[in-house]
Amino acid sequence: MRFLGNVLWIILGGLFIAIEWAVVGLLLCVTIIGIPLGLQAFKMAALTLTPFGKTVDYGGGFGSALANLVWVVLAGWVLALSYLLAGVANCVTIIGIPFGIQSFKMAKLALFPFGADVR
């Protein structure tokens, strides 16, 4: 089921969104200040490419919490809101529910990427 879900996800737009995240990550890594943000964009690209069968473990310490606070204020809430809206739209149909659940998983990571580990 994971394989089929990931194939459908890639065909229906996951590949395009993952490439966008990777390009954003590369652009952010051009500057020294943007490298931590670029690494989080690469994390989102990896999850966005094949979300089925992956889990996100949250951890970290004070530094991750502080970075997440800055991230949420600057961009995280907008990214999380877009994934949340996509998840709700997917859950309108029975067939779209698994895709909606994956969108909700990505919304949480988009909101708090620092200290998270995608496995």
pLDDT digits (tens, 9 = 90+) for 42-86: 999 999 999 999 999 998 889 899 999 988 998 889 889 999 999
Q: Once rounded to an integer, what is the mean pLDDT over residues 17-26?
A: 91
Count of the separate structural domains present in the chain: 1
User: Which residues form the domain of 8?
Assistant: 2-118
pLDDT digits (tens, 9 = 90+) for 91-112: 999 999 999 999 999 999 999 9
Element (H, E) at 67: helix 62-71
pLDDT of residue 89: 93
pTM of the predicted structure, to 2 decimals = 0.85
81-90 long-range contacts, CB within 8 A, separation 24+: 81/107, 82/110, 83/107, 83/110
Element (H, E) at 116: strand 116-118
pLDDT of residue 88: 95
94 three-class SS: coil
